[in-house]
Amino acid sequence: MSFINDHILTLVTFVPLVGSLALWTVIKRAEFARVFALVVALVDFVLSLHLWFRFDAGRGDDQFVERVPWLLNGEVSYHMGMDGISLVLAMLTTFLGPLVILSTWQAVRERVPSFMACILFLQAAMLGTFFARDMLLFYVFWEAMLIPMYFIIGIWGGQRRIYAAVKFFIFTMVGSVFMLVGILYLYFQAGGMGLTDFMNLQIGHDAQLWLFAAFFLAFAIKVPVFPLHTWLPDAHVQAPTAGSVILAGVLLKMGTYGMLRFAMPLFPEGVAAFAPAISILAVIGIIYGALVAMVQPDVKKLVAYSSVSHLGFVVLGLFSLTPLGVAGGIFQMLAHGLSTGALFLLVGMIYERRHTREISEFGGLAHKMPVYAVFFMIATLASVGLPIMAGFIGEFMILFGTFNSETLEHGRLFAILAATGVVLGAIYMLWMYQRVFLGKLSNAKNEGLTDLSLREVVVLLPIVVFIFWLGVQPSLILNRVEASVERVLAPLTAAVAEAQGTAPSHTGILLPDGQRAEIGTAFGSDHQKFLIRDTESQR
Amino acid sequence: MESHSTEILLRWIVVIPLLGAMVNGLLNRRLPKQAAGLLACAAVGISFAMSVIVFLRLTGMPAAERMVTDTVATWIGFGKFQVDLAFAMDSLGAVMALVVTGVGFLIHIYSLGYMAHDAGFQRFFSYLNLFIFAMMTLVLGENLLMLFIGWEGVGLCSYLLIAFWFNDEANAAAGKKAFIVNRIGDFGFLIGMFLIGVTVLPHLHEGEGLFSFQVLQHHVGILAPVATAICLLLFVGATGKSAQIPLYIWLPDAMAGPTPVSALIHAATMVTAGVYMIARMNFLFVLSPTAMGVVAAVGVATAIFASSIALVQNDIKKVLAYSTVSQLGYMMLACGVGAFGVAIFHVMTHAFFKALLFLGSGSVIHAMSDEQDMRVMGGLKTKLPITYWTFLAGTLAIAGVFPLAGFFSKDEILWKTFSGELGGVLPWAIGFLAAGMTAFYMMRLVVMTFYGKNRASAEVQSHIHESPATMTGVLIVLAVLSIVGGWIGWPHFMGGGAWFENWLEPVFAGAHGAGAAAVAGGHGAGHVGHDTTIEWILAGASLAWGILGLSLGYFVYTRKVSIAESFRRLGGGFPHKVLLNKYYVDEGYEAVFIRPGFKLSKSILWKIVDAGLIDGLMVNGSALVVAVLGSVLRIFQNGMVRFYAWSFTIGVAVFVLYLSFSG
């Protein structure tokens, strides 16, 4: 048991990789490849449960750390670690893994072993990215994600798959190259590749701006942040369902994770300088993504643009630099992974039946496929952010945090503008739902449609359960990320405040209670006077 | 121990209808209709019974402590941001709970008959139970965020039930419209909550829930400087849910849903949620005379605006829908003049008589083979006697005839408007005028539906029959409530005890307290020595005015239809046309917001910005430059990426191996 405990991160990361290699080399039969991949993904999920249950939520630092000197006399090390933020994203990855594989049971018929190998390889790379605490190791995992995704789109994709795959590849590569330059620069300064080595560096103001820009670009493309998003609709539309689910479910979060883990803590002066601009882009992304989603004739493209909108919320939350906004951002990453993952799965299911995703081809499907319609309704409402579903918690916390931000100028305005996304979300999702599912069954081609199979229900049900579970009991996640968020954020906000030339005020929620108790009693006695003082001090 | 068991009832009051909804929803057609109907009715019945038990316990408590709380768990907990999953019932919550579960139960029973032949019977009852769950979360939520869960939940149920017969895309569109318009209101609600939260958060003590009503009331002094902004934002939410100008437009369309839904959700309960929310937040609203003024002005404007539209509608449910909008306007008016208790009183009486009227119209529609146009009705008085007599009771109640329920609540609203410091003669006069119009259009409806000769086809006529006992029984119960339901608010000047307002007094006591001096909260035991002469005169005038409206409606539509004709032709028929087309508000919104919004999104954002500028010029354009320079793009397309991938893999491997051994 202790062996497992000491090497759990390696195990969780490399079990799918080993499975991938087996599929690439030994396994030839499609049926066996499917079952094998599913078993590997399930084993990985079970292993990751160890992380979930053994994780000490009271600590914000890295746990299950493994560190072995690797290259250049230990300047580069195999350094894996996991805090609460990495934990919840890794769990999302291992949770979606088996479901994704199960969803391809009938959709993928060509070169099945290779396909499954790509999926598992991708999973390993994603998990490694979340766990890596050495920058070279991180970069290797980061780049390694590209390759299987490229193949998944380029080989098993739709008609314009090559275009989409190349576009995806070049976009991401361009960003990564800048980041690589940044990493090398820091390495030569620090004499080590460890994240802690980088954190301990004293970096000059201008260098911080440049480095932040380089890192941010790499991550912003991945998210994607407006206006770097145009690869996304193409990639989604061309990718097979499994590719889209992983792309939306986990890969996009690599960008926001990277911001929170690397770009922001390493370069607080960059954050201070660029946060207003980034927040503007995030808000534009929210509204723009929603408006463009609204007029899409293709369901999948609609969902793709909705991701631009939803991820805009995440970026806004992160750059609010409030504990609530950041935690909300993390929560929204999960919520979006679940709801959009479910939506892409659902779109894939109708595509398998009808080989089209044009909204105008459908109408009245609820008559023929009532179970499908119910699942789609739930996913729709989750995407819209209805309370007691996961999406509400994330959006609420993000908007609240942004509204409450002290470092972000015009935070309130941003929050108000972003909140219009909540209205727009309802418009494009419900309008789409109406045109696809309600009304009369207008198209004769839909007459022969069959409702969901048991396998399809099995794929969707766990996601739906968690959509509600997280909505009703968000503490499941929040408890586990709270300490880690504070650990990342406390030095960051202090540094940003310093860079902005303002001392951090005492109204942050995670500060000790002393001052507030005073405030409370002062209020009781002479509240009018106090109120005046309070409003003045806030100015 | 006994007290503990009562507290825990609160969560079951809320959850049992949810369980009913889940069983009906999951089993659906596998469940026989009788079982499904019984289950749904039982779920609401149990909720009602438990509400009564908790209510009885409240009656035994001293007024100041009249509150039962059931905290289930922490819902969102992050640092100081703590929001509990908790329910509470105080005197206001008790009234709402009893009305919602009580009227809800009756409408469930009615639906057994009304929906008996519908293929979606189980689905219908599942949604109906789900609605009760959401509505009870709304009224029993211990904090503003719980209220918001219920608020969104009832919105969802409204959407699902309006679009219940989704085979007709118009119904689906009406459901979607309701949801979206409500979301616009929710946008204001959300921002209002943020403003409350950020203002209170730094001052919270350990263990205080952020949005808890009690905590907010305790910290109301901190909220005072931003009270106007908060209240106006919350009120935006209320205009959505409670169908006030400018967001009322969804409610008339919502009549696309089955009639029991119109009665339960779009008349008796859900649409009063905005009024309830303002009453719940009364301690904050009274701090802002500006916000109160806006609430009153919008309320009274909505009241007269909607009743003017109701004057000319021909669809029986549309008349009732605009009547509901108008009555909700009265409730808002009451809130705006600080008479929160009276607003809730009208919520209750309106729940009785408007549910009755809608269910009565449902009975008519049922008998008329789903016909809703009053121009082909008539003469149903003898064929549907129970429906007719109960409907008449509802009509007299809404018209404010003494001593029916509507008289007491509406008269009280007008009186408080007239006498309160936030009121005045003008809003009173407008409200008074609208009351006369109400009486008139209701009598018009009664005459067109029940009097004269039937104008339907012979085919339809042959099927006219009184509704089954499950339906008429409910009509009779509601008719009795519409007659006697107002007596618990019998005012002091008429020798009564105003028991209803006294009961609510503790909730609105804060409105009299510190900071509320600006507002004459002339409610509760508000009989502080004024001369009752004016009150008598106004009450008499109200009554006379209502009877005049009724008589005029009766006279014009039974004897002198020519008068109606000449009114229709007045001014070249233009005013009538405007009213008939509801002032063209929907068309206006369509032209100003919806069409430009789509055009902007499609033609400009998507086609020009996204596909043209960003993707075409920047992305593919720069790629093209590269391609032209070195035909790189083609190389990429020929497998450069695959080449890169392999060289990357091999390169890393070689690099790593080299370093490993050299190190």
Residue pLDDT, tens place only, A195-207: 988 988 888 888 8
* Region of poorest pLDDT, from A428-437, B226-235, B483-492: B483-492
C-alpha span between B269 and B248 (Å, rounded): 16
pLDDT over threshold 80, residue B657: no
A177 touches chain B (CB under 8 A): no
C-alpha span between A247 and A252 (Å, rounded): 6
* A496 and A521 co-located in one domain: no
Pick among B15, B22, B74, B78 to test the A interface (most A CBs inside 10 A): B78
C-alpha span between B174 and B169 (Å, rounded): 9
Evaluate whether residue A208 is within a structural domain: yes
Helices marked H in A74-111 = 84-103
Question: Are the beta carbons of A366 and B166 separated by less than 8 Å?
Answer: yes
**Helix (H) or strand (E) segment spanning residue A372:** helix A370-384
Q: Which of residues 288-347 of A touch B (CB under 8 A)?
A: 288, 291-292, 294-296, 323-324, 327
* A356 and A469 co-located in one domain: yes
Percent of chain A whose pLDDT exceeds 70: 93
* Region of poorest pLDDT, from A425-429, A438-442, A497-501, B426-430: A497-501
- Tokens found for residue B536: 């008598």
Separation in Å, CA of A30 to nearest CA in chain B: 24
Pick among A161, A288, A295 to test the B interface (most B CBs inside 10 A): A295
* A225 and A264 co-located in one domain: yes
pLDDT over threshold 80, residue A314: yes
pLDDT over threshold 50, residue B241: yes
Helix axes B385-399, B340-367, angle to 10 degrees: 150
The average pLDDT across B65-69 equals: 89
Q: What's residue A514's pLDDT?
A: 37
* A345 and A382 co-located in one domain: yes
Q: Which of residues 5-64 of A touch B (CB under 8 A)?
A: none
Q: How many domains does chain A have?
A: 2
**Residue B489: partners with Cβ closer than 8 Å, 6 or more residues away:** B345, B349, B408, B409, B412, B496, B498, B499, B500, B501
Which residue in B276, B252, B253 sits closest to B150, CA to CA? B276
The average pLDDT across B427-435 equals: 93
Q: What's residue B518's pLDDT?
A: 40
Preceding peptide of B506 cis, ω within 30°: no
DSSP-derived secondary structure for A195-212: HHHHHT----HHHHHHHH
End-to-end CA distance of chain B: 74
Contact residues, chain B, for A510 at CB < 8 Å: 79-80
Evaluate whether residue A505 is within a structural domain: no
DSSP-derived secondary structure for A297-315: SBHHHHHHHHHHHHHHHHH
**Residue A459: partners with Cβ closer than 8 Å, 6 or more residues away:** A99, A102, A103, A345
Which residues are registered as beta bridge partners of A358?
A298
Contact residues, chain A, for B649 at CB < 8 Å: 147
* Phi, psi values for residue B532, rounded to 5°: -85, 0
Q: What's residue B623's pLDDT?
A: 64
Residues A82-130 pLDDT 10s: 999 999 999 999 999 999 999 998 888 888 899 999 999 999 999 999 9
pLDDT over threshold 60, residue A403: yes
Q: What's residue A308's pLDDT?
A: 94
* Phi, psi values for residue B498, rounded to 5°: 45, 45
End-to-end CA distance of chain A: 57
* Region of poorest pLDDT, from A300-309, B475-484, B654-663: B654-663
Asked if A300 and A334 touch (Cβ cutoff 8 Å), the reply is no
Evaluate whether residue A66 is within a structural domain: yes
- Going by pLDDT thresholds of 50, 70 and 90, the confidence category of residue B655 is low
Evaluate whether residue A331 is within a structural domain: yes
Q: Which of residues 192-231 of B touch A (CB under 8 A)?
A: 194-195, 197-198, 201-206, 219, 221-222, 224-225
Question: Are the beta carbons of B659 and A76 separated by less than 8 Å?
Answer: yes
Question: Are the beta carbons of A154 and B641 separated by less than 8 Å?
Answer: yes
Neighbours of A141 (CB within 10 A): 20
Q: What's residue A537's pLDDT?
A: 40
Q: What's residue B516's pLDDT?
A: 40
Nearest by CB: A438 against B166, B219, B606: B166
Question: Are the beta carbons of A288 and B605 separated by less than 8 Å?
Answer: yes
Evaluate whether residue A18 is within a structural domain: yes
C-alpha span between B311 and A185 (Å, rounded): 77
Closest Cα in chain A to B201:
A509
pLDDT over threshold 50, residue B621: yes
pLDDT over threshold 90, residue B356: yes
**Helix (H) or strand (E) segment spanning residue B658:** helix B641-662
Q: Which of residues 163-192 of B touch A (CB under 8 A)?
A: 163, 166-169, 172-173, 176, 179-180, 183-184, 186-187, 190-191
Evaluate whether residue A506 is within a structural domain: no
Separation in Å, CA of A364 to nearest CA in chain B: 7
- Residue matched to tokens 């631009």: A308
* A294 and A254 co-located in one domain: yes
Which residue in A287, A236, A278 sits closest to A260, CA to CA? A278
- Tokens found for residue A24: 């690439």
Domain ranges, residue A535: 513-539
Q: What pTM was computed for the model? A: 0.89
* A464 and A521 co-located in one domain: no
pLDDT over threshold 70, residue B3: no
Separation in Å, CA of A292 to nearest CA in chain B: 6
Contact residues, chain A, for B153 at CB < 8 Å: 386-388
Neighbours of B346 (CB within 10 A): 28
Asked if B192 and B145 touch (Cβ cutoff 8 Å), the reply is no
* A334 and A300 co-located in one domain: yes
* A491 and A440 co-located in one domain: yes
Pick among A438, A484, A506, A519 to test the B interface (most B CBs inside 10 A): A438
Q: Which of residues 589-618 of B touch A (CB under 8 A)?
A: 597-598, 600-602, 605-606, 609-610, 614-615, 618
Residues B476-515 pLDDT 10s: 999 999 999 889 888 888 887 788 888 888 888 765 543 3
* A393 and A467 co-located in one domain: yes
B153 touches chain A (CB under 8 A): yes
Which residue in A322, A475, A477, A474 sits closest to A398, CA to CA? A322
* A182 and A328 co-located in one domain: yes
Asked if B472 and B382 touch (Cβ cutoff 8 Å), the reply is no
Asked if B300 and B427 touch (Cβ cutoff 8 Å), the reply is yes
Q: What's residue B663's pLDDT?
A: 44
C-alpha span between B391 and A129 (Å, rounded): 69
B638 touches chain A (CB under 8 A): no
Closest Cα in chain B to A69:
B660
pLDDT over threshold 50, residue A148: yes
3-class SS shares of chain B: helix, strand, coil, % to 5: 80, 5, 20
C-alpha span between A534 and A340 (Å, rounded): 43
* A269 and A303 co-located in one domain: yes
Q: What's residue B465's pLDDT?
A: 87
- Residue matched to tokens 């709270």: A482
Neighbours of A289 (CB within 10 A): 29
Q: How many CA atoms lie within 13 A of A509 on its CB side?
A: 28
DSSP-derived secondary structure for A130-173: HHB-BHHHHHHHHHHHHHHHHHHHHHHS-TTHHHHHHHHHHHHH
Q: Which of residues 482-501 of A touch B (CB under 8 A)?
A: 482
Which residues are registered as beta bridge partners of B76?
B83
The average pLDDT across B559-566 equals: 77
Question: Are the beta carbons of B597 and A162 separated by less than 8 Å?
Answer: no
- Kind of pairing, strands B67-78 and B81-90? antiparallel
**Helix (H) or strand (E) segment spanning residue A501:** none
* A379 and A525 co-located in one domain: no
Q: Which of residues 382-441 of A touch B (CB under 8 A)?
A: 386-388, 392-393, 396-397, 399-400, 403-404, 415-416, 419-420, 422-423, 426-427, 430-431, 434, 437-440
The ranges assigned to domains in chain B are: 2-580
Mean pLDDT for chain B overall: 86
- Tokens found for residue B518: 């600006």
A219 touches chain B (CB under 8 A): no
More confident residue, B662 or A34: A34
Query: Per-residue b/e over A44-83, b at no fewer than 16 CB within 10 Å?
Result: bbebbebbeeebeeeebebbbebeeebbbeebbbbbbbbb
Closest Cα in chain B to A295:
B602
Q: Which of residues 70-89 of B touch A (CB under 8 A)?
A: 73-81, 85
- Going by pLDDT thresholds of 50, 70 and 90, the confidence category of residue A280 is very high
Residues A361-390 pLDDT 10s: 998 999 999 999 999 999 999 999 999 999
Question: A29 — alpha (psi -120 to 50), left (phi > 0) or beta?
Answer: beta
The average pLDDT across A458-462 equals: 95
Neighbours of B630 (CB within 10 A): 10
